[in-house]
A and B are shown apart, each in its own frame.
Chain A
Amino acid sequence: DTTVKQNPRYKLARVGKPVNLICSQTMNHDTMYWYQKKPNQAPKLLLFYYDKILNREADTFEKFQSSRPNNSFCSLYIGSAGLEYSAMYLCASSSGTGGSDYTFGSGTRLLVI
């Protein structure tokens, strides 16, 4: 199974409420990534885990949290959702250093109201 699975496919959240998105992969990839994609914009890397080490992009450092309790699972957490968080959130994984097996999940579409 060479897929990255994301749950849920669609998420509706209220402004100010927390949001938790889930991603899993069974390829034993050591790196997992979270991207944000808005219409007519390029996907933007939010953060990634290499093994158990979390790396967050400087401009989104305070907006998103993540956890990776084991190799297969990674979550993205928004503590207090704002309208600007409405977007498609894409999880990806790869072995080693962004290699040829970079694989994306189907995404979670988040709508904040």
Chain B
Amino acid sequence: QQKVQQSPESLTVSEGAMASLNCTFSDGTSNNFRWYRQHSAKGLEVLVSIFSDGEKEEGRFTAHLNRANLHVSLHIREPQPSDSAVYLCAVNTNAYKVIFGKGTHLHVLP
């Protein structure tokens, strides 16, 4: 079964410094990857969806996918304190099921 692992568990960056989050998965046949974030006690907000190897940019958020290396990353340009949240990596494992990582807690210091 697809396993999704995220690192680091927690990341603290200063406002304006690039934040980089990592996600590894065990099954490279998946073709549907997403990054979500969850602010405290709120629902999931989709940030970037990526379906093929390479790069996908959505505003300040850029995802990089390398299925050969079983790796997808998220880079946040010029993070702000309001970006402090839990960031979740999600991988479609089959027709219906999405497997999530446990998340990275991002803290952006003003």
Contacts and interface: CB of A to CB of B under 8 A. Distances in A.
Interface residues of A, number: 25
A100 interface: yes
A100 B95 CA distance: 12
B88 A43 contact: yes
A97 B98 CA distance: 11
A104 B34 CA distance: 12
A97 B102 contact: no
Nearest to B38: A37
Contacts of B44: 43, 90, 104, 107
B98 A98 contact: yes
A100 B88 contact: no
A13 B25 CA distance: 37
A13 B36 CA distance: 29
- The bracket for how many chain B residues form the interface is 20 to 34
Contact of A105 (B43, B46, B100): B43
A109 B96 contact: no
Interface in B78-103: 88, 92, 94-103
B95 to A, nearest CB: 4
Contacts of A100: 32, 49, 51
Nearest to A31: B96
Nearest to A37: B38
B83 to A, nearest CB: 18
A42 B95 contact: no
A42 B101 contact: yes
B96 A48 contact: yes
B41 interface: yes
Nearest to B6: A42
Given A55-B96, A98-B94, A104-B46, 16 more contacts: A6-B43, A33-B96, A42-B100, A42-B103, A43-B44, A45-B97, A45-B98, A50-B96, A97-B95, A97-B96, A98-B92, A104-B36, A106-B43, A107-B43, A107-B44, A109-B41
Interface of B: 4, 32, 34, 36, 38, 41-44, 46, 49, 51, 88, 92, 94-103
Question: Lowest 5 CB-CB distances: which A-B pairs, in order?
Answer: A106-B43, A97-B95, A42-B100, A107-B43, A104-B44
